[in-house]
Structure 1
Amino acid sequence: MKKFTLFTPGPAEVPPRVLKALSEPIIHHRSQDFREIFFEVREKLKKLFKTKQDVIVFASSGTGAMEAAVANFFCKGDKVIVVNGGKFGERWTQICKTYGLDVDEIKVEWGYAVEPDDVKKALEKNGNVKGVFIQGCETSTGVEHPIKEIAKIIRETRGDDTLFVVDGITAVGVFDVDMDGWGVDILLTGSQKALMLPPGLSMISASERALKFMEKSDLPKFYFNIKREMKAQREGETAYTPAISLIKGLRESLRMIVDEEGLENVFARHKKLASILRNMVEGLGLKIFAKRPAPGLTTIEIDNAEEIRKKMRELGAWVAGGQDKLKGKIIRIAHMGYYTEGDMIYVGNVLKTCITGN
């Protein structure tokens, strides 16, 4: 018999009560039953995002919401700045260029966070910048970028002329990202991380400032049309067929996060889990790869990373490896969402066994 626990930074573990909701009989999406579920989900998502704005739900991976963030708010040829400090920073660049935006990259060494002053200098150098794109947490390296500080710089230096776009896929629900309070214009996330669901849903919200940009956007969009979805979702429906079971599961996970544990307690738990695991890692003489580590995952420098991963999986702990140039050099262990202190002690001890043989 084999049994394993996922400690990967997406997909992450799904609680039994969420699995139960996912397994319930399907209902029709053009019905009052669905509308009641969806209205509840929409209100709880606003609390999760810390916004008064609509939070739009798409049936897609998080990359779908990233594409929507570009296609709905910008025009061909717009000058934008992308903070590229890993695989997902690279993805912002790829999407922006696909849609014909003029991209200036701030390239950050993998494992490091961007310096806010570097963003300020890029804004000064480029003049008429329409958007700044960044990850709240760069999942490929485990780094947390200084979102609050950068938002302050953009608002103070650019006013309403530049949108701040944050990929919060491993940030929203993991640590504090105050969309309205900090002045983030576009914030997005996915279902398979802190929201404790299988992959398949993405969510995105836009500030009033961003909605004004949306009226002028000339880029093509069909499925990821936020204006169309906003109209439908305010009525408790979606423009196209939604992922009904995932939305039912999302209602259950949001009840756990927002109503029962509470956001601030969730954030504190993630910090504590990170601390427990990192103390165990450092006790083994290993180094944390991220120089500004995010609370949702721990990246560990290991020479024979793929061999260690394989051994850990054989012992029931499924962890992630490095991507691209970090493949074989790091392992990534998640502690966002449905994890406890005991889970961290367990995975830490599995790591110890695989490293020391004891």
Structure 2
Amino acid sequence: MDDKLMLMIPGPTPVPEQVLLAMAKHPIGHRSGDFNKIMAEVTEGLKWLHQTQNDVLVLASSGTGAMEAGIINFLSPGDRVLVGNNGKFGERWGEVCEAYGLTVQAITAEWGKPLDPEQFRAALEADTNKEIRAVIITHSETSTGVLNDLEAINRHVKAHGQALMIVDAVTSLGAVNVPIDEWGLDVVASGSQKGYMLPPGLGFVSVSAKAWDAYKTAKLPRFYLDLGKYRKDAAKNSTPFTPPVNLFFGLQAALRIMKAEGLENIFARHQRQMQATRAAMRACDLPLFAPDEAASPAITAVMPQSVDAEQIRSAMRKRFDIALAGGQDHLKGKIFRVGHLGFVSDRDILTAIAALEATLQDLGHQTFTSGAGVAAAAKVLIG
């Protein structure tokens, strides 16, 4: 049946009908008073979502563009940075830093394991000359389903005093509690196609007063991604360059939906659906890739033993029109990933698990009892 695709991947994520309809409206002039009103509303909504009074700036970019902006606006060539690397995206931020001539010290962990905050503490305490200018962390590592302990790592950064805390919150913002002002996070980047319930195309960067002080002396090249330009225009409810106007219509609608649900309910829903998904995988005798204590509420990675991960993904897509994500780099073909962030309901979780059970049976995975996965998920969801 056509047009029944169900996205259960970490992005793009499903989009509410209200948001789709909002984006279907005729564009308006981005220098008009009507657009200024929308800009004012979404700016206020973004500050609410980010739990901050800092600037939250909107770019026409992916999450990678937001992170690149978050790095290059506050640093200078040769600056020393610590980069947490326990997955594809932590690895990427190290590559971005090296491309701009920064001196990178990687703090690593095996893919599927969380970063160790003590390694950051040791590196920061050893920096008696205060040469480390930034610590760059992926909060929710999308490639592995690991949630790193941002709060603990940030405490060590704050004790250092000099370094900026730069955070990739692309799959955690809108799914996990990220209290920017309470924790004193300096730069937090995210993207529209994740917890925001929008199509790809918008990047978001929250910037603290401490980061703006660093901006004054930062010397890395920037033009389109110069956040100072966005800050200046945002103060006038405008943008320095042409924005994707219809995505702003969608952002306005999505933020209204999120406000109606409330932050605590949003976080609780993601936690519940993560727990349901993980319980179902165990009941289906499918090993989980990330440990319980570091599991991301946005994405669950699974490493099947008796069935090929790509066979599972292919069969789910062909038979049930359900899209699951695959592994990246050396994990390609070894894991599959179930996205449960953004506009995902409890019904979606049960549907995906039921389809997965049927797929496993068809592929000859016989080490579980039929219906056990759905029952385990239902027990968590019903409470």
For the aligned pair, the TM-score class normalised by the smaller chain equals: over 0.9
| Match in the other structure for 1:267 | 267
Question: Residue 288 of structure 1 aligns to a residue in which SS?
Answer: coil
In the other structure, the counterpart of 1:237 is: 238
Q: Is the 8 A contact 2:71 2:166 kept in 1?
A: no
Q: In the TM superposition, what is the alpha-carbon distance from 1:125 to its structure 2 partner?
A: 3.4
> Aligned partners of 1:148 and 1:280: how far apart in 2?
29
Whole-Å separation in 1 of the counterparts to 2:213 and 2:186: 11
Q: Does 1:88 align with 2:80?
A: no
Out of 310, 314, 335, which is 1:310 matched to? Answer: 314
Deviations 1:23-46 (A, max 9, x none): 011101000110000100000100
Measure how far apart 1:78 and its partner are: 0.5
Match of 1:349 in 2: 354
Shift of residue 126, structure 1, vs aligned partner? 4.2
In structure 1, stretches of 5+ residues that fail to align are none
Aligned equivalents of 1:140, 1:177: Cα separation in 2:
20
Match of 1:153 among 150, 156, 159: 156
- Give the alignment's TM-score, normalised by structure 1: 0.98
1:118 is aligned with what amino acid? Q
Equivalence for 2:373 = none
Residue 324 of structure 2 is aligned to residue 326 of structure 1: no
* Structure 2: gaps of 5 or more residues: 363-369, 371-383
How far, CA to CA, are the matches of 2:230 and 2:208 in structure 1? 16
User: Which string of whole-angstrom CA distances, capped at 9 and with x for unpartnered residues, describes residues 289-331 of structure 1?
Assistant: 0121110111111240111000011112111000001100111
Counterpart-to-counterpart distance in 2, 1:194 and 1:352: 27
Residue by residue over 1:261-291, the C-alpha shift from the partner in whole angstroms, topping out at 9 and shown as x without a partner, is 0011000000111111111111011111012
SS at match of 1:74: coil
Aligned residues: 355
Cα root mean square deviation, aligned: 1.0
Displacement after TM superposition at 1:202 (Å): 0.1
Q: Between the two proteins, what is the percent identity of the paired residues?
A: 41
Which structure 2 residues correspond to residues 197-276 of structure 1 after superposition, within 5 A?
A: 197-257=198-258, 259-276=259-276
Q: Which amino acid is the alignment partner of residue 337 of structure 1? A: G
**118, 135, 151: which is aligned to 2:138?**
135
Map of 2:379 onto structure 1: none
Moved over 4 A (4+): none
Structure-2 residue corresponding to 1:296: 298
Amino acid in structure 1 at the alignment position of 2:235: R
Aligned letter for 1:58? L
* Residue deviations 1:65-111 (CA, integer Å, cap 9, x gap): 11111110001111100000111001110110111110000111000
State which of 319, 339, 343 in structure 2 corresponds to 1:338: 343
Q: Is the 8 A contact 1:152 1:183 kept in 2?
A: no
Aligned to 2:8: 7
Q: TM-score w.r.t. structure 2 length?
A: 0.91
